Chains A and B, each alone.
Chain A
Amino acid sequence: MTATTEPLREHAGDRPAGGRSAGTRSIGLSSTIASEWIKLRSVRSTWIILFLAVALSIGLAAMFSFVEGLTLGDQSSIDPLSSSIIGMQFGSILLMVFSALAVTSEYESRTIRTSVSVTPDRWRLLTGKMVTVSAIGLILSLIMVLGMFFASQIINTAYGAPSAALGDEGVNRFLIVSIVVGGLMYTVIPLSIGFLLRGTASAVTISVGIFLIPRMIASLLPTWVQENVLGYLPDKAIYSLSGIIAPSDIYYASQAPAIIAIIAWIVGAFVIAGIVFNRRDA
């Protein structure tokens, strides 16, 4: 490794504002997004996590339908949509890990300081990360949800169990909500929490907790809470909107409030992360 000692090129003193020779193009949100995309695609962990998310979610959905088909005598009790979304249990956790890591890995390697030096407009940095991570989340969600859906339906059909097809009553709504709302919620919330907590372990734990804990402890809570609060938490709101939770269910939130709750979670997470990130030392 020999260092170059030749002159730096034609240069300097006559160049008060500087940097023009470095080949500037205009800098904006698209530059930040391009940069964030390079950060994500240039580390192997991104590809491993995304691959595992797809493989495990589709694999689990297929396995679940397979076991259901084998073991259930009365196959008409199978709900073809619920059994296909089951794989999202894994898929969503991996998507949350991916999203939290997009920022916590920067705090843990301290590259966040370089990031804010290059892009001192912290709202733009946050927005660039959000857009990039949630775009990947949406694409991944599309692959996972459709993959799980078709895998389940093929297996259900093979067992002569009830199956669903595109265009059936409620199916398109189920698919669109699962893809779009899931893709956004599983990325925006963990990424925001990552900005707030700055550590991978804590951000992943809290994010997963927000989605899973209400589900696990729901039946222990007072009825009033079950009826009026749980339905607006991210997990249940997605399922009410996609139709997995029926209107008769105690956790059901009707459409408009569910949509408002989801928007409030996404916007709220983004804004709180932005305010804290802007004020705090990086």
Chain B
Amino acid sequence: MTIATAIVRGTPVFGRMFSVDKSTGLEEINAWPALMIMASFIWLAVAGLLGLVMPATQMFDLDSGHFYTTLTLHGAALAFPFSFQLMVGVGLHRSGGCVGKPITGWLPAMCFITMNLGAALLTVAVLMGFKVSLVVMFPLPLVGAQMGIWSMNTVILGFTGIYLVLACMILFYPLLGLSMLFFGKKRQDLVLSERSLNDPGMLGMTLSALTLLIAGLPLVVVGTTLLLALYGVIPMSLAAWAADPVVFQYCFYIFAHNLMEAMALMVSSAMYATLPLYLADGTRKLFSDKLANTALWILLLTSVTSFLHHFITFYPNQPASLSYWGNIMSWGTGIGAAISIFTVLATIWQHGLRAEPGIIAVLLGWALYILDGASAIVTSNVAWAYVLHGTMWQSGHTMTVILAMSLMWMGVLYHHYPVITGRKLDPVLGTWFVRLFTVGGFGAAIAMLAGGAAGMPRRFADWNQEGWMFYGNMIMIFGLILGASFVVYAYNLLQSRELGDALGQRVGAT
């Protein structure tokens, strides 16, 4: 039994959802993914509740400090140790089975440790007062310490946490993904469904790993410099260039924006790989691989520089030419989306669909992602940016993109779950999860966009003016429905039945 399997076994409640099936000889590709997926759901359980706490603090007029604490924890935990880690877990399981390589050794361990330890350190820092939101708002951390709002020690702790999380996302995970794709010997006994790089289901994974590695490098250099200065290894004067707000913010968004795009590439490719398995006529092929790959390439090429849309209202410090470039590139990703819409719908039209909860969750997550994409390109237009930047529209967009990708991964997980655990899920509960998630996800997204349209500020502890509380109440209602969907999903995992029950074979149960 590997360490990963043992940790899953030893974890109360959540461990039961993901205990690994060892009878199939696939433990080497099941163990680390099972542990990471389990950890991601623990973060979801905590941080999802915090989502509900945010509107609650506003409705009951609680201390505004609680709102900012919750905001920082909610955003950071759901974006990184939940959503990203879920992607790493399910994505690695996919890669392992596609290329026939074990997921073992120090790289997956480092991925797991840096992500979870980093997120835990950041959580402690936030609880100690480090309320900087998930995007850090540099130089707010240092200014807050100078003003005595939080201590320098919490800044060091928080930055160390963020640094570890970044190490997972920029270094260990992409390296692990690429090393599995390009190095090591293929083991036939681990191949579940073989794929080559020409396959859209594979191309996205490769592009995504490269994007993270390359777009993250500037931030790694800046972050390392700052951290060394904070720990007193180098004098602050040597780190002054990295502490320049413009330098930090640009490096931050080159990465943060492309992180979202890399996750989108990854999940799109997972969808391209999963959809064909559920076609009614057994074709197992997309309408056109070429179109699917074209969409991925367009998404990649246009997204790299579209991060400039974060600074449109910084004019003339960001020249109009760059803002306009960011505007057009962002809209270019829409062309990629249009091609993928056509590919997906034409595939289903030509071959029919076996509508099981897993694939429906993937498709509805993708539909939510399309809504999010529409809201994203609209706010990337120079004219609209001036009336939407800094409003709840942006939070709606950030949350929806992560929510959509998470729903898609939760759908893909339906497909992988029996392989990992040797158990199967109940389709009726699955259908209820999809229904609730769709209502909650679309509802919360539209409520947040509408709040933004009405000028409701984001990250703002005073909704009770100008009629904004209406949108706050809507977020609460749809948030509760969203929360209910997660409860159903978790219950389904807890109740899963063993595949081999008929044979009297007890697999993986504790």
Do A and B interact with each other, yes or no?
no
A interface list, Cβ under 8 A from B = none
